[in-house]
Structure 1
Amino acid sequence: MPAPTALRKQPEEFAATINVLLPSNNDEAEFLLDAPNALPSDVDPIIPSGGSEQDTDMHIDEEGRPRFAPAKNNDNITRVETRKVPIPPHRMTPLKASWPKIYPPLVEHLQLQVRMNVKNRAVELRTSKHTTDTGALQKGEDFVKAFSLGFDVDDAIALLRLDDLYIETFEIKDVKTLQGEHLGRAIGRIAGKDGKTKFAIENASRTRVVLADSKIHILGGFKNIHLAREAIVSLILGSPPGKVYGNLRIVASRMKERF
């Protein structure tokens, strides 16, 4: 194939940067552009942000494609958001005792600013310029809220490590209206002697259960919460613990087979 004899006319500055190499053993011509930033004369240059024209001006090239100015660097602009998590009065003493274990994950892992407001009985969280995760504030709030509901710090930290953990809360009266001694017996059936029933439910369903009077809080995955809730509802409705144990054993074995 002979080398092209006619090239498109270019400005002198642009044509001077084109080196035409004609190998002796090959008829094809190789073109090397030494100045990639050089533009043809018929293409409008992009006006920088400091120019007279605005950044919103759009330039159309010869093929009809729009060309925009480069985006500005907005990394220095940070929006500060604040969350306040109220702490129940009976959880203030455990909060003060466990505070050395609570704030390091929030400050070091999520890069949040944290303080304990003793007067207002709340934990205040705030983002800063060092916060990189967009969901860090929500994760921190879930972590502190889980501790305020009665979960241990080690169990609540799992909310920061994993994304598929949730907390579900319901009351005994949502299942069945019980009052007086009937309510106390239902709570006793859920807890069991020395908490054995509750521990059995937690181990079989791989969840964490907190009994706070007539309220029940469950921490775990979606399917695991469903399994623990079904067992607790059966106990509230009056099923004997032995039957609930049997159902939990069957379901737990099926879950192990899946994995």
Structure 2
Amino acid sequence: MPAPTALLRRPEEIADAANVPLPTESQDDELLLDAPDAVPSDINAAQPTGDADTEMHVDEESRPRFAPAKNTDGPARVETRKVPIPPHRMSPLKASWSKIYPPLCEHLKLQVRMNVKNKAVELRTSKTTTDTGALQKGEDFVKAFSLGFDISDAIALMRLDDLYIETFEIKDVKTLQGEHLGRAIGRIAGKDGKTKFAIENSSRTRIVLADSKIHILGGFKNIHIAREAIVSLILGSPPGKVYGNLRTVASRMKERF
């Protein structure tokens, strides 16, 4: 019985028929050299496949080192604040409401409403709020307006981080009653408010006289300068002496900046 034709072919003829090149000695050597570098499948399976952000690394001093936190889209929960408005400031609030809510909604991305019944301004964060301190800045802005500051001065609290408001009463400096209290307030204000304006311009602050309470808006050092001048006037120093001290302080501030 004759043998099949496929078995009678030589290896060269089989390779030519299949168009597959035969392996040479050099190819065999390359395969043998690359084989030890291959990583077994069981070793890959043993390696941890955890997330890189949650994985904890330890430095040379055995202190844990975590990956930096990712930026979130906004606050995790909705927070609200209620700022009470004094009765005598409700009318100015209604008149200036069209100028008050745009900075809160557009700049800080807050939700705001005026509660006429409770005489308060309510603030609330939303999904679009990106700044974590937006609620506190909005509260400071509304509170500054409720104390009697202008809107342009109160907006500076939202734009600058080193501004503060300090409040004290005349009786905290010296116990005055009756006409003595009125004269002290008159010395602070001056004729047509000239003394108060001079203190504001020299110390770069804003001052509000609300009866026996005094509110000062400005930087930390500037508030200290304005407070010292007001305390001197309350204790009875003549305005001329206070003006001289303010000129000296203003010249030093110009040299510093």
- TM-score of the superposition, structure 2-length normalised? 0.77
The one-letter code sitting in structure 2 at the alignment partner of 1:46 is T
Counterparts of residues 58-77 of structure 1 (less than 5 Å):
75=73
Alignment of 1:143 with 2:147, yes or no, is: no
- Unaligned stretches of 5+ residues in structure 1: 14-38, 49-54, 60-65
SS state at 1:157 partner: helix
- Alpha-carbon shift at residue 41 of structure 1 (Å): 1.7
Counterpart among 214, 217, 224 of residue 216 in structure 1: 214
- 2:164–2:220: 8 Å Cα contact kept in structure 1? yes
**Percentage identity across paired residues of the two chains:** 83
Q: Give the helix-richer structure, 1 or 2.
A: 2
> What is aligned with 1:30?
none
Counterparts of residues 99-248 of structure 1 (less than 5 Å):
99-248=97-246
The one-letter code sitting in structure 1 at the alignment partner of 2:196 is K
Per the alignment, do residues 226 and 73 of structure 1 end up closer, same or farther by CA in structure 2, a change over 3 Å counting? closer
- Unaligned stretches of 5+ residues in structure 2: 1-32, 58-63
- TM-score of the superposition, structure 1-length normalised? 0.76
Find the structure with the greater CA-based Rg.
Answer: 2
- 1:78–1:128: 8 Å Cα contact kept in structure 2? no
Per the alignment, do residues 105 and 76 of structure 1 end up closer, same or farther by CA in structure 2, a change over 3 Å counting? closer
Per the alignment, do residues 57 and 234 of structure 1 end up closer, same or farther by CA in structure 2, a change over 3 Å counting? closer
CA distance in 2, matches of 1:128, 1:142: 18
> What is aligned with 2:38?
10
Per the alignment, do residues 214 and 57 of structure 1 end up closer, same or farther by CA in structure 2, a change over 3 Å counting? closer
- 2:74–2:129: 8 Å Cα contact kept in structure 1? no
- Alpha-carbon shift at residue 78 of structure 1 (Å): 2.9
CA distance in 2, matches of 1:148, 1:246: 33
SS state at 1:238 partner: coil
SS state at 2:131 partner: coil
The CA deviation string for residues 121-145 of structure 1, in whole angstroms up to 9 with x for no partner, is 0000000010000000000000000
The CA deviation string for residues 47-91 of structure 1, in whole angstroms up to 9 with x for no partner, is 68xxxxxx98989xxxxxx9x9xx999648731000000000000
- 1:116–1:122: 8 Å Cα contact kept in structure 2? yes
- Alpha-carbon shift at residue 10 of structure 1 (Å): 2.0
> What is aligned with 1:24?
none
The one-letter code sitting in structure 2 at the alignment partner of 1:10 is A
Counterpart among 78, 81, 85 of residue 79 in structure 2: 81
SS state at 2:114 partner: strand
SS state at 1:164 partner: coil
Per the alignment, do residues 186 and 77 of structure 1 end up closer, same or farther by CA in structure 2, a change over 3 Å counting? closer
- Alpha-carbon shift at residue 196 of structure 1 (Å): 0.3
RMSD over aligned CA atoms reads 3.2
CA distance in 2, matches of 1:72, 1:155: 36
Per the alignment, do residues 78 and 228 of structure 1 end up closer, same or farther by CA in structure 2, a change over 3 Å counting? same
- 2:74–2:130: 8 Å Cα contact kept in structure 1? no
